[in-house]
Structures are given as structure tokens and as C-alpha cells.
Amino acid sequence: MGLLRWIKSQFICHLLICYVFLVSGLVVNLLQICTLPLWPVHKQLARKINCRLGYCISSQMVALLEWWSGTECTLYTDPESYRLYGKENAIVILNHNFEIDFLCGWTFCDRFGVLGTSKVMAKKELAFVPLIGWMWYFQEIVFCKRKWEEDRRTVARSLQNLQDYPEDFWFLLFCEGTRFTEKKHQISMQVAETKGLPKLRHHLLPRTKGFCVTVQNLRGKVTAVYDSTLNFRNNETPTLRGVLNGKKYHADLYVRRIPLDSIPEDEAECAAWLHRLYQEKDKFQEQYMQTGHFPGPVKSPPCRPWALINWLFWASLLLYPFFILAVQLFYAGSTPTIVATIAVCIGASVAVRWMIGQTEIDRGSSYGNRKSTRKKTD
Ligand SMILES: CC/C=C\C/C=C\C/C=C\C/C=C\C/C=C\C/C=C\CCC(=O)SCCNC(=O)CCNC(=O)[C@H](O)C(C)(C)COP(=O)(O)OP(=O)(O)OC[C@H]1O[C@@H](n2cnc3c(N)ncnc32)[C@H](O)[C@@H]1OP(=O)(O)O
Ligand SMILES: CCCCCCCC/C=C\CCCCCCCC(=O)OC[C@@H](O)COP(=O)(O)O
């Protein structure tokens, strides 16, 4: 093991990275709260400020992936579409197989300059994840309970709010609704069979309600759907823990730009369109398995320095007082102060472990583990 790799795997490094993340995150969350009085007076300005504040948090995780773990992200797409990325509002559809797929998504957002404004339809539970969930509240993320009876109104309302959003954004939808597991795959293929739909090998059956309501409510605002399929080289199953340990992965993302106008307005046709899309996505995954690459030319956006600069800013601001405090504690601290400080460190470490746990598939929800049945109300 090289010296650098050894250093990256050391607990003390993780502690310092997490310390910067936690403290800067809390500072940013506090600043976001301070923008509350601005919302009724100058909503657009409040939104713009919150984009930038949010960037301070999410870009730290991007910096971790790009600069700490050195993970490479390759984009397969056609040059015509490439020119529009980051310059229009888009709905992004992504497969949901990996623990760090959201992070790779963020990396591409950063490279196209839309990380601060990026949005997602996220499960409600994530709203309670400290720092990230709180930040999302101010970034107008659309939360769903994955209970259509309750979501149909709240989701549509949150999406309508984005109609006058002042900056270009990407809205991410994991239409499968949950991460891929063998069990969930098996169940969803039983559902596919009862619906007379072709079986998918690499995806769960997409849930169509969220997609249709998104297209319906963002029509006129969003110009395209980016059909994105992500995979990792060498059959790797990347984890956030691995990234924190400095492990390098190689992500391949295949993106097709589909004009929104070409998506049917009728709900049943829109749902059928999405099912066809997933059948195509399945073929791209199959090709990747067979050949090790996606179709189409490679057109990777360059890595930008801003995520690293942001991290260096927070690190230089927060690590100096941390070291001063540590030295003072060591030389002059009373036993209760030292014990209290150690307790805070342990607490912070447990909190970060819990947050990382939110990304782990093994600890995922039971959503999709059985066939859900719903009374027909629509
Ligand atoms: C150039 C570069 C391009 C791209 C770069 C890539 C990405 C970057 C973009 C942006 C980044 C931004 C942010 C990323 C950051 C972080 C993201 C992190 C995490 C958030 C992710 C999540 O939380 S995913 C979970 C939440 N989201 C969703 O669930 C969305 C999808 N779900 C839906 O749309 C659902 O329809 C719903 C949630 C709206 C409602 O769900 P509900 O279950 O109540 O109802 P459904 O109608 O969906 O379900 C019933 C129907 O489904 C059938 N059924 C029953 N059982 C099953 C089963 N096991 N599997 C499949 N289907 C099943 C049932 O028969 C019903 O069928 P109907 O015919 O009656 O509809
Ligand atoms: C600068 C580095 C800081 C390192 C410390 C990192 C600590 C922060 C860690 C994680 C932040 C939480 C991000 C939450 C994003 C989780 C995305 C996700 O994948 O959610 C799963 C959801 O789609 C489906 O859930 P289920 O499969 O149904 O269950």
C-alpha cells in the first residue's frame, strides 16, 4: 500500500474531514435559517443565496469523491446534446443500483455548474438527515412519502413552486423508487408479469406516477429529459465508506437528451413511454455488461476546482481553531473538559456513521419488498 493510500485510510484523517463537514454544515444551516425573513420580501434573492449556501455543503462531498478518492467520471453522450447541459432546465432519470449514485450525479451537476440548484424527488425520511436534509429544505427539494394517496397533492404543489425558479436546475428522479436488491427485483418482475410488461434484468419496474406528475407540472419550465444510465467499471460496488477511505472508482454515465415535447401528455401514454424507456435502459446496461462500455462517443466534462477551493476555505477557517483548542485542552484542560471534548468527538463520529448508514443498501427501506396494492382512486 502506497503512503498516500495509507494516510487516506487513517481514522484521524476521516475525523478531520468529518469535523470540517459537520461544523461548516451547521454554520451553513444557520445562515440558511437567517435567510427566512428574506423569503416573503425577495423570494428570488433568497433562492439564489440558498443555492450558493447549499453548494458549500454538497460540494464538499463532491470534493471528497473527485480530489480525495480520485474517482473518475466518464460521460458518454452526443456532442450536440452536450452543448445544452447546464444551460437548460431538465428532468434527469437515473438507475438506482449504487450507494454513491447520488454523489456521482452531484459530480456531474458540479461540472455543468448546476450543483447548487440541483433538485431531486427524495423520500421524506431524508429530510431529517442532519445538514443535508436541512439544507434540502431551503433548496426546495421535493419530498415524497412513497404513498401516492398523500403524495399526489404535496408533490404536485412542490413541483409547481419550481415554475418560477430563477436559475437553471436539474430535477433528478429515481423512477425505480428504491435501490436495486435481488429481492426487490424479483417482486417487481412479478408485478411486471401481472401487468403484461416485458421483464427487466438490470432495473426494477419503474413507478410511473412520480414521473408523470413531474412532466405534467414542469412542462413549460423544463425543456428536456436526460435519460441517464450509470455503471462502475470492473463490477465494482462503490460505497461512501470506500470513498472516505480514499478508494478510487471509475464511473461511466450514459446520457441521452430527449426533448420534453416528445413525451405524451396523456397519463397512461406517459406511463407506457416510461416503461419503454426502462426497456431501452435495460439494453444499454446489458451492452455495458457484455462490452464494458456504453454506446456513443465519450465527451467528459472537465473537473472544476470550485469544490476543492470551497473545502480548502472551510478547512483553513475551522481547522486552525480546532488545533488551538486541542493543544490548550492537552496542556491546560481540566479532566471534565477533556472528557466532555472526547464525548463530543465520539458523538460526532457516531452521527457521521449514522449519516453514512443512510446511503447503505443493506440498511435500506423495505419499500418494494412486497407488491403494494392500492385502492383505485384515480
Ligand atoms: C449530463 C449529466 C446528466 C445527469 C447527471 C445525473 C444526475 C444528476 C442530477 C441531479 C442530482 C440531484 C440530486 C441528487 C442528490 C441526492 C439524491 C439522493 C437521494 C434521493 C433519492 C430517493 O429518495 S429515491 C426514493 C424517492 N423517490 C421516488 O420514489 C421517486 C419514484 N417514485 C414514484 O414516482 C412513485 O410513483 C411515488 C413516490 C410518486 C408514489 O409511490 P407509491 O408507491 O405510493 O405509488 P406507485 O403508484 O408508484 O405504486 C403503485 C404502483 O406500482 C405497482 N407496484 C406495486 N408493487 C410494486 C413493486 N414492488 N415494484 C414495482 N411496481 C409495483 C402497483 O401495481 C401500482 O401500479 P399502478 O399501475 O396502479 O400505478
Ligand atoms: C466531506 C465529506 C463528509 C463525509 C461525511 C459524509 C456524511 C454524509 C453522508 C451522507 C449524507 C446523506 C445523503 C443522503 C443521500 C442518500 C441517497 C440515497 O441513496 O437514498 C436512498 C433512497 O434513494 C432510496 O432508499 P431505499 O433504497 O428505499 O432505502
Locate the domains of the chain by residue range.
Answer: 3-306+357-363
Verdict on whether the full-model pTM lies above 0.90: yes
For residue 145 and ligand 1, the question of a CB distance below 6 A is answered with no
For residue 367 and ligand 2, the question of a CB distance below 6 A is answered with yes
Which pLDDT score, from 0 to 100, does residue 185 have? 98
Which residue's CA is the nearest one to ligand 1's atom 10? 172
For 3-306+357-363, CATH gives 3.40.1130
Which pLDDT score, from 0 to 100, does residue 377 have? 46
Q: Which of 207, 227, 230 to mutate to test the pocket of ligand 1 (most atoms within 8 A of CB)?
A: 207
For residue 354 and ligand 2, the question of a CB distance below 6 A is answered with no
Looking at ligand 2, which atom is closest to the CA of residue 122? Answer: 23
In sequence order, what E strands does 97-188 have?
A: 119-123, 142-144, 170-173
Chain Cα centroid distance, residue 136 = 11
Nearest ligand to the C-alpha atom of residue 204: 1
Q: Which residues of 124-149 are buried (b: 16+ CB within 10 A; e: fewer)?
A: eeeeebebbbbbbebbbbbbbebebe
Which pLDDT score, from 0 to 100, does residue 374 have? 58
Q: Which residue numbers in the chain have pLDDT < 70? A: 1, 372-378
Nearest ligand to the C-alpha atom of residue 267: 1
Which pLDDT score, from 0 to 100, does residue 373 have? 64
For residue 203 and ligand 2, the question of a CB distance below 6 A is answered with no
**What separation in Å is there between the alpha carbon of 209 and the centre of ligand 1?**
8
Q: Please state the ipTM of this predicted complex.
A: 0.96
For residue 314 and ligand 2, the question of a CB distance below 6 A is answered with no
Compute the distance between CA of residue 6 and CA of residue 18 in angstroms, rounded to an integer. 18
Which pLDDT score, from 0 to 100, does residue 326 have? 84
Compute the distance between CA of residue 353 and CA of residue 348 in angstroms, rounded to an integer. 9
For residue 364 and ligand 2, the question of a CB distance below 6 A is answered with yes
| Ramachandran sector of residue 220 (left: φ over 0; alpha: ψ -120 to 50; beta: rest) | left
Q: What is the largest CA-CA distance in the chain?
A: 73
Which residue's CA is the nearest one to ligand 2's atom 23? 178
For residue 209 and ligand 2, the question of a CB distance below 6 A is answered with no
Which residue's CA is the nearest one to ligand 1's atom 70? 374
Which pLDDT score, from 0 to 100, does residue 78 have? 95
Q: Strand, helix or coil at 229?
A: strand
Looking at ligand 1, which atom is closest to the CA of residue 369? Answer: 59
For residue 68 and ligand 2, the question of a CB distance below 6 A is answered with no
> Three cell numbers at 326?
486541542
For residue 52 and ligand 1, the question of a CB distance below 6 A is answered with no
